[in-house]
């Protein structure tokens, strides 16, 4: 099993500041209110994850992808970033597909 693939895990409200999670693949994980300030998430993948109100300030999200998981219900399995904080985050090369709450002012590749 790939140790960088994580499915259906809750990180809600957790302190993950300055963690290195480069190239991790998160599927259907809960990051609601998680503190990811300064974390390194280069090339990480978020599929069907809940990042509502997560703090991603100064996180390195370069080349990360935010997407969805195919399910029987098209609304279920979408990544939600509503209310997330992005100030100072590195979003170079980020890809976004069918994400709820992605701010208009943030780049997408």
**Cα pseudo-dihedral 46, 52, 57, 60, rounded to 10:** 0
3-state helix, strand, coil in the chain (%, to 5): 0, 30, 70
Q: Does 3 have pLDDT greater than 80?
A: no
In this prediction, residue 33 has a pLDDT band, given cuts at 50, 70 and 90, of: very high
Tens digits of residue pLDDT in 43-69: 999 999 999 999 999 999 999 999 999
- Report pTM: 0.93
Mode of pairing for the β-strands spanning 95-96 and 45-47: unpaired
């Amino acid at each position: 099993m790939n140790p960088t693939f994580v499915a259906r895990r809750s990180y809600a409200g957790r302190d993950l500041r300055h963690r290195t999670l480069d190239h991790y693949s998160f599927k259907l994980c809960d990051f609601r209110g998680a503190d990811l300030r300064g974390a390194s998430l280069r090339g990480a993948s978020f599929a069907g994850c809940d990042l509502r109100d997560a703090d991603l300030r100064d996180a390195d999200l370069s080349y990360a992808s935010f997407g969805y998981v195919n399910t029987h219900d098209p609304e279920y399995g979408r990544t939600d970033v509503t209310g997330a904080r992005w100030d100072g985050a590195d979003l170079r090369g980020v890809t976004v597909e069918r994400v709820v709450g992605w701010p208009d002012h943030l780049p997408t590749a």
